Amino acid sequence: MNENDRGHHHDHGNDHRETSGRRLTGAAAINIGFAVVQVVAGLAIGAVVVLADAAHQAVDAIGLITAVIAVRVARRPATATWSFGLGKADALGGFISALLLLGSVAWIVFESIRRLLDPEPVDGVAVMVIGVLAIVVNGGSVWLVGHDHGAGAIAVRAARLHLLTDLAGSVIVVGAGAVLALGGPEWIDPVASLVLSAAVLWTTWHVIVSATSILLDRTPDRLSAADVEALLGSQPGIDRVHHVHLRPLGGSRVSVTAHVVVDGARSVHDAQAIVDDLRHVLASEHSITHSTLQLECHPCGDGSEPDCATLLE
């Protein structure tokens, strides 16, 4: 590939990320605006199922905002201050937002239980109209977000999953409104809101688990230390691999460190060639682009460094 080809490819990648960022921002703005409309309407007609759907809409908006942050932050290179980059910023934002959402869901559950004990009349037709609008908004948002396989792709897929879940929740809102419009029991409204609250809690719980795993450097689900050890240990000239550690860097990036015992003493030139080969294998087999490997001519002792150890990255 010549220099011009590389420049063209880079520009195309930037255009793709710019388009993805604009789509995500637009979908987030739509969902935030509609969540506000649902809160106002829900309070006006006294429908807690609409308020519950508004909370779910907020989950979608937060997921989209998190995806926007992930896409934008992923473009920034590492600095002397942030040597691993800022890939975990989206996980931190998602974690804080999820905690705030738990508070809103607690209020909705409390209000739903109160309505079950003391039902109030609700305008079923109005609930149906809001539910239909929610289906249109969520369906349009799913189309707008589409599929993304670039920077921040994990956050984008998570946001799209939230939208699809909320789309199903909006169908529940329409169903509850139809039952109320046909003269159904008033307890349908709080019961439907509790069902939606359970869906919000399910989605929010997964956000908390995922964010916590990234923030606390949990080994990624797609890879294990045993996988890395087996892969490196199977390469020519490698006797043993130990002290393998994996940590997420945000998005789909993973950092790996390991001690690699080679078969006999090697020159620094040979060691560099071995490390280059091992890094290439990690990148091609497990998409690991950040690895730090310590070469040794015999296993580590009790905390002592071997005489022929070479640290290369």
Does residue 128 belong to any structural domain of this protein?
A: yes
Q: Is position 211 within any domain?
A: yes
pLDDT in the model for residue 256: 92
Domain boundary among 190, 215, 240: 215
Please, are residues 289 and 253 in contact by the beta-carbon 8 Å criterion? yes
pTM of the model: 0.66
Residues 166, 229: one domain? no
Backbone φ and ψ of 253, nearest 5°: -80, 140
Beta bridge partners of 257: 245, 292
- Residue 245 CA, chain-centre distance (Å), reads 22
Please state, in angstroms and rounded to a whole number, the distance separating the CA atoms of residues 38 and 272: 61
Dump pLDDT digits (tens) for 83-123.
Answer: 887 878 777 877 877 787 787 778 778 878 887 887 777 77
Instruction: Give the CATH number, domain containing residue 304.
Output: 3.30.70.1350
The two structure tokens encoding residue 306: 């071997």
pLDDT above 60 for 151: no
Q: Is residue 17 scored above 70 in pLDDT?
A: no
- Residue where a domain terminates, one of 171, 189, 215: 215
The answer, yes or no, to whether residue 200 has pLDDT greater than 60, is: yes
> 270, 260, 254, 266: which is closest to 229 by C-alpha?
260
Residue 73 sits in the same domain as residue 147: yes
Write the Ramachandran bin of 220: left for phi over 0, alpha for psi from -120 to 50, otherwise beta.
Answer: beta
Q: How far apart are alpha carbons 224 and 293 in whole angstroms?
A: 16
Q: What is the phi-psi region of residue 251: left when phi exceeds 0, alpha when psi lies from -120 to 50, beta otherwise?
A: left
Domain co-membership, 62 together with 211: yes
What Å distances lie between residue 116 and 110, 113, 119, 170, 300, CA to CA? 10, 5, 6, 21, 66
Residues whose CB falls within 8 Å of the CB of residue 41, separated by 6 or more in sequence, listed in order: 47, 50, 126, 130
Residue 306, pLDDT above cutoff 50: no
Instruction: Please tell me whether residues 211 and 235 are part of one structural domain.
Output: no
Residue 119 is part of a domain; what is its CATH number? 1.20.1510.10
Domain of 128, in residue numbers: 3-215
Backbone φ and ψ of 146, nearest 5°: 60, -150
Q: Where is pLDDT greater, at 188 or 57? A: 188
Q: Which of 185, 194, 199, 53 is nearest to 127 (CA)?
A: 53
Do 139 and 71 lie in one domain? The reply is yes
- pLDDT tops 60 at residue 14: no
> Could you tell me if 71 and 169 lie in one domain?
yes
Q: What is the pLDDT of residue 4?
A: 44
What percentage of the chain carries pLDDT values higher than 90? Answer: 5
Dist. CA 11–CA 37, nearest whole Å: 39
Residues 202, 242, single domain; the answer is no
**Which of 140, 151, 168 shows the shortest CA–CA distance to 33?**
140
- Say yes or no: 179 and 45 in one domain: yes
DSSP tag of 69: H
Residue 155 or 151, more confident: 155
Domain count for the chain: 2
Within-domain flag for 254 = yes
Q: How buried is 79 (Cβ within 10 angstroms: 0-12 exposed, 13-18 middle, 19+ buried)?
A: exposed
HSE-CB for 103 with a 13 A CA cutoff: 4
| Cβ-contact 227, 260 below 8 angstroms | no
**Residues 180, 44 share a domain:** yes
Mean pLDDT of 156-163: 67
Give the pLDDT confidence score for residue 279 in this predicted structure: 92
Q: Can you give the pLDDT at residue 109?
A: 84
Q: Are residues 17 and 138 in the same domain?
A: yes
141 is a domain residue: yes
pLDDT, residue 125, reads: 86
Note the pLDDT tens digit of each residue in 220-250: 888 888 999 999 989 988 888 999 999 888 7
Q: Where does a domain end: 215, 236, 264? A: 215
In 3D, which of 148, 194, 150, 143 has the Cα closest to residue 164? 143
Task: Identify whether residues 242 and 126 lie together within a single domain.
Answer: no
Q: In this predicted structure, what is the pLDDT of residue 152?
A: 47
Polymer length of the chain: 313
Same domain, 250 and 211: no
Q: Which helix (H) or strand (E) holds 1?
A: none
94/62 Cα distance (integer angstroms): 7
Strand order in the sheet with 310-312: 238-250, 253-262, 290-296, 310-312
Residues β-bridged to residue 248? 254
Q: Which two tokens stand for residue 197?
A: 């609250």
Q: Within a domain: residue 220?
A: no
